[in-house]
């Protein structure tokens, strides 16, 4: 039976003082701090936070005051009593991690970071919350990863739940690998604050299901259950019993009533949550959004300033002078004065443990220190990737070539975790000696495992991979895989990876019409355009096994430590091409055929179509002065000098045509014409698909010859706006 805490927490008078229930007995039992606060002191802190929320949002007439006011007691319980952290060293490795999945409530986090002693979080910084100017403030409208005390960037609801699950997995894995019976160097908790919106989002539900399956008892999910979103009461759209649902998904559940006032109940619930074993824990806390506002319990208080009249009302109700702004009584700072020495003592104790660990277990300590520094290898890992003359000479899919790199690297380095959303063998991310990351009680694996079976949860796959990557920058390199089409499901989390500078390696197989019989539902004709447009990601479409090795080198290069990479790989076999070069491809595009020719025509292509482009070049009758360029990465090509780019794609002296079995969007930047897809595909064997849509070499040669003759007759090259779509096959499905 899951535990339950239900307390009344009645209030007394306009100042909202707690009646009878406070933290005294709980704090003695929990052995958290030697000084016990009175209910009056606790209430003063809560009232101060609520008035600050009202003032800070009203200052620039924007922001989210409601959750801050309603959940003030939750924040107080976390930062004053329950979480283990050191304000003087926000990056202390064995700290508890706090993830604000309900990112709109960031003002709550900012205020408690300030009160608990994070030096960077001054009130001057916090006063820039929702400021209308680019002031260099840390107090963004949603938390940002690069600032002290903010573990990840959240915004799109539900992402934080997924990140927290990934962090809990990371912590479990490290503990299983490095902890010893006598010395525990990793034993932290992951706290995640969530609201009604995160629990409605699919990514949140995917991640909750996965965490329950894995039995992540180091994860505590705090549900600020105020039953209100932007549109109003959730009764209009949501009628689930969340506690019952999570119990059914393998979670412990603790319930706390009157969480806007009942600090004692919250503390008791959190103490129980930390002690429970075997399952993750939901602490379902019922709160009043916008507590003390005239608009409490309504959608109006969720995402808008209260208005001058209501701000005045709040202050009067809570015993503050309505004429004063940003008031923080000295007793509030006194209340938090033990946070810094408590955090310093916790880190000092851990440092002693690490000293003992280094003496007793020097090899493990050395590896852990290397990973703490963000390094995954001491040796030259590139030497493990076979040179071109050692790669298979027979045609093979680039997805299988990527598996060569996985087998060469992943078993050797503990930093890699590798897995798939239900397509492990199809994407070739499984590796020799694999152990599945599983709840040890399942009999399917254990927490030392670095092979992840995410199930059919593409969105959560990357959300949790982000949690791994953010746990300690560089400590983990997640490898995640599915068909390229299903990276559309994962795209919101990938965008967060790129925004935060979190490195993962994405394996996106079945990357075009070559998927064949599965039909147009599985053929990602347009998705490449999104990923090419996304800042700070390496989208790489390699032409053969040699370029696949180059893609891995790009992804793992030190300069890409803060950049995710996504390889789009073929299902169908492609030949090992004579002109490909893993070193040259780092420039994004290079000549693979006709290197010594001053071209009249340049064909630029990517991935599985490069070999077809070379075949086509050999069949042309309109000109023999033709070169073929492989462009595995538009991003890397764009970063080269103008001189280099013009030497590869001489658009001012040569006709340039692109060949790619995706949509043509974006190719006008590099070419005068394209042979591309203009429909969603079809269901047929892959060779029939390429023939149906005109990508056979003889048909492409015919189309290109006619186009070249047209422009030869005009005695000039095309200009901007004259981009030609050389329709290959059927214009409609």
Catalytic residues: 458
The burial of 307, by beta-carbon neighbours within 10 Å (0-12 exposed, 13-18 middle, 19 or more buried), is given as middle
Rg (CA), the chain: 29
Q: Where would I find the beta strands (DSSP E) of 51-152? A: 97-100
Instruction: Please check whether residue 276 is in contact with residue 3, taking contact to mean a CB–CB distance below 8 angstroms.
Output: yes
Contact assessment for residue 77 and residue 265, using Cβ atoms and an 8 Å cutoff: no
**Count of alpha carbons within 13 angstroms of residue 92, beta-carbon side:** 25
Half-sphere exposure of 461 (CA within 13 A, CB side): 32
> Which alpha helices (DSSP H) does 15-64 contain, by range?
24-30, 39-59
> Do the beta carbons of residue 258 and residue 9 sit within 8 Å?
yes
CA distance 17 to 2: 31
What is d(CA 342, CA 724) in angstroms, rounded to the nearest whole number? 68
Distance CA 212, CA 278 (A): 10
> What CA–CA distance (Å, rounded) separates 613 from 611?
5
Cα–Cα distance list, 718 to 178, 616, 643, 659, 672 (Å) = 62, 22, 20, 17, 6
Inter-residue contact 211 to 280 (CB < 8 Å): yes
**CA–CA distance, 491 with 530 (Å, rounded to integer):** 9
Tokens of 439: 């709840």
Length of the chain: 733
Structure tokens at 727: 């329709």
Give the Cα separation of 376 and 370 in Å (integer).
Answer: 7
Please state, in angstroms and rounded to a whole number, the distance separating the CA atoms of residues 330 and 73.
19
What burial letters (b/e) apply to 170-200, b meaning 16+ CB within 10 Å? bbbbbbbbbeeeebebbebbbbbbbbbbbbb
Q: Which of 591, 608, 728 is nearest to 656 (CA)?
A: 591
To which residue do tokens 């490795």 refer?
A: 93
Rounded distance, CA 364 to CA 360, Å? 9
């Amino acid at each position: 039976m899951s535990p339950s805490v239900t307390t009344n927490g009645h209030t007394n008078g306009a100042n909202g003082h707690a009646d009878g229930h406070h933290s005294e007995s709980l704090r003695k039992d929990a052995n958290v701090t030697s000084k016990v606060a009175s209910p009056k002191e606790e209430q003063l802190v809560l009232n101060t936070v609520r008035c600050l929320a009202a003032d800070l949002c009203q200052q620039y007439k924007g922001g989210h005051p409601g959750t801050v006011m309603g959940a003030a007691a939750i924040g107080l319980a976390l930062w004053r009593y329950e979480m283990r952290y050191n304000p003087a060293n926000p990056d202390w490795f064995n700290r508890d991690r706090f993830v604000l999945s309900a990112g709109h409530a960031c003002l709550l986090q900012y205020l408690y970071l300030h009160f608990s002693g994070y030096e960077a979080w001054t009130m001057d910084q916090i006063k820039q919350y929702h400021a209308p100017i680019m002031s260099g403030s840390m107090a963004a409208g949603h938390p940002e990863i690069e600032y002290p005390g903010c573990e990840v960037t959240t915004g799109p609801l539900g992402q934080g739940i997924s990140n927290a699950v990934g962090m809990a997995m990371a912590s479990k894995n490290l503990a299983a690998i490095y902890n010893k019976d006598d010395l525990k160097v990793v034993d932290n908790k992951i706290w995640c604050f969530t609201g009604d919106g995160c629990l409605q989002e699919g990514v949140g539900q995917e991640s909750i299901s996965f965490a329950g399956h894995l039995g992540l008892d180091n994860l505590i999910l705090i549900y600020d259950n105020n039953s209100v979103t932007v549109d109003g009461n959730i009764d209009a759209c949501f009628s689930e019993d969340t506690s019952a649902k999570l119990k059914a998904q393998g979670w412990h559940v603790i319930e706390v009533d009157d969480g806007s006032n009942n600090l004692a109940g919250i503390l008791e619930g959190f103490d129980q949550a930390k002690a429970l074993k075997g399952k993750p824990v939901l602490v379902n806390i019922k709160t009043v959004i916008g507590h003390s506002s005239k608009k409490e319990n309504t959608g109006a208080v969720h995402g808008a300033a209260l208005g001058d009249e209501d701000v005045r009302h709040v202050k009067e109700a809570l015993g503050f002078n309505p004429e004063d702004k940003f008031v923080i009584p000295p007793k509030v700072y006194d209340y938090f004065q033990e946070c810094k020495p408590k955090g310093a003592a916790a880190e000092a104790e851990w440092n002693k443990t690490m000293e003992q660990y280094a003496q007793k277990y020097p090899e493990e300590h050395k590896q852990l220190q290397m990973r703490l520094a963000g390094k995954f290898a001491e040796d030259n890992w590139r030497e493990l990737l076979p040179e071109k003359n050692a790669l298979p000479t027979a045609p093979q899919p680039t997805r299988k070539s990527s598996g060569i790199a996985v087998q060469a690297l992943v078993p050797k380095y503990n930093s890699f975790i590798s897995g798939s959303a239900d397509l492990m063998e199809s994407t070739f991310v499984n590796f020799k000696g694999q152990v599945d990351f599983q709840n040890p009680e399942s009999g399917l694996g254990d927490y030392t495992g670095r092979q992840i079976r995410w199930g059919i949860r593409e969105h959560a796959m990357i959300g949790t991979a982000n949690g791994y990557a953010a746990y300690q920058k560089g400590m983990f390199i997640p490898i995640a895989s599915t068909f390229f089409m299903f990276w559309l499901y994962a795209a919101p989390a990938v965008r967060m990876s790129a925004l935060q500078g979190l490195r993962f390696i994405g394996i996106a197989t079945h990357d075009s019409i070559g998927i064949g019989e599965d039909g147009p539902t599985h053929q990602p004709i347009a998705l490449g355009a999104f990923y090419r447009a996304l800042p700070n990601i390496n989208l790489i479409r390699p032409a053969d096994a040699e370029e696949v090795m180059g893609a891995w080198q790009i992804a793992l290069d030190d300069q890409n430590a803060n950049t995710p990479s996504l390889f789009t790989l073929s299902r169908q076999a492609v030949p090992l091409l004579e002109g490909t070069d893993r070193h040259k491809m780092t420039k994004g595009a290079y000549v693979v055929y006709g290197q010594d020719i001053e071209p009249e025509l340049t064909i630029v292509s990517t991935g599985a179509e490069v070999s077809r482009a070379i075949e086509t070049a050999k069949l042309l009758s309109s000109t023999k002065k033709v070169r073929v360029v492989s462009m595995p990465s538009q991003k890397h090509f764009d970063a080269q000098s103008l001189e280099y780019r013009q030497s590869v794609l001489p658009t001012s002296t040569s006709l340039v045509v692109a060949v790619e079995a995706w949509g043509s969007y974006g190719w006008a930047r590099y070419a005068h014409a394209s042979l591309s897809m203009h429909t969603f595909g079809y269901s047929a064997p892959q060779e029939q698909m390429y023939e149906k849509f005109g990508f056979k070499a003889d048909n492409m040669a015919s189309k290109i010859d006619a186009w070249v003759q047209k422009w030869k007759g005009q005695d000039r090259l095309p200009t901007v706006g004259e981009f030609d779509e050389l329709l290959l096959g059927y214009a409609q499905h």
